[in-house]
């Protein structure tokens, strides 16, 4: 599974969700708090800005063994020597999984976003290394959410790690963990926290404390 493990805490990092703090500062604190994967998801930066930030985030992650993932762009992921790339449904119209794989190589990680059982089933039978499923709860990032009722069905049929995403907080995480979720991705619950390292550590503790 290209190094993807269970009980995985995945930070999707967007500087605009960081309350004015630099992405590198957020990343360093989150890594110290125990995240396992970090995705650079910057929708409003130029190509040169993305490359500069990507190189900095790669250094932060590689020092601690955190997987560094680039959102949307397998070409940039290859250039940055990232651990992998994450593709949304729209990205798959530009880069097929086969094209992304040929660009980044057989030993790199490819993740795919899914927002329905139909999309999940398609990704489950694909070359993707993990599948993100959500948004589970309401979130500012999306204008819809899909709820928790399909978590059991998704996990029952999963052939690869599933990362649940979307509006997950300490106040609601226990419900999805009880349904069997073992990997979660977060944005604002970490990036907007007063104490980023402590927030990451609290979520990691919830994940690792589940039997």
What is the pLDDT at residue 210?
A: 59
What pLDDT is recorded for position 9? 97
Distances (CA, A) of 65 to 3, 4, 84, 178: 11, 12, 14, 28
With the C-alpha atoms ordered 161, 167, 170, 173, is the resulting torsion angle positive or negative? negative
Catalytic annotation, residues: 41, 113, 142
Query: Whole-model pTM?
Result: 0.95
CATH classification (class only), 9-197: alpha beta
Tens digit of each residue's pLDDT (9 = 90 or more) over 63-75: 999 999 999 999 9
DSSP type of residue 114: E
* Domain residue extents for the chain: 9-197
pLDDT in tens, 83-131: 999 999 999 999 999 999 999 999 999 999 999 999 999 999 999 999 9
């Amino acid at each position: 599974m290209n190094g993807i493990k269970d009980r995985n805490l995945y930070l999707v990092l967007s500087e605009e969700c960081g309350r004015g703090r630099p992405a590198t500062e957020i990343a360093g604190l989150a890594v110290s708090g125990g995240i396992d994967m970090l995705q650079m998801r910057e929708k409003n930066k130029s190509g040169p800005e993305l490359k500069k930030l990507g190189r900095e985030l790669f250094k932060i992650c590689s020092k601690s063994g955190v997987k560094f993932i680039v959102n949307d762009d397998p070409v940039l992921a290859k250039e940055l020597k990232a651990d992998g790339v994450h593709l949304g449904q729209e990205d798959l119209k530009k880069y097929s999984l086969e094209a992304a794989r040929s660009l980044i190589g057989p030993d790199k990680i490819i993740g795919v976003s899914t927002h329905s059982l139909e999309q999940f089933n398609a990704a489950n039978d694909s070359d993707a290394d993990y599948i993100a499923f959500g948004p589970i709860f309401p979130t500012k990032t999306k204008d819809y959410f899909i709820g928790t009722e399909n978590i059991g069905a998704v996990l029952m049929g999963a052939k690869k790690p599933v990362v649940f995403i979307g509006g997950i907080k300490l106040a609601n995480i226990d419900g999805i963990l009880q349904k069997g979720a073992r990997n979660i991705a977060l944005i604002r619950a970490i990036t907007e926290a007063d104490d980023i390292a402590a927030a990451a550590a609290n979520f990691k503790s919830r994940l690792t404390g589940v039997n």
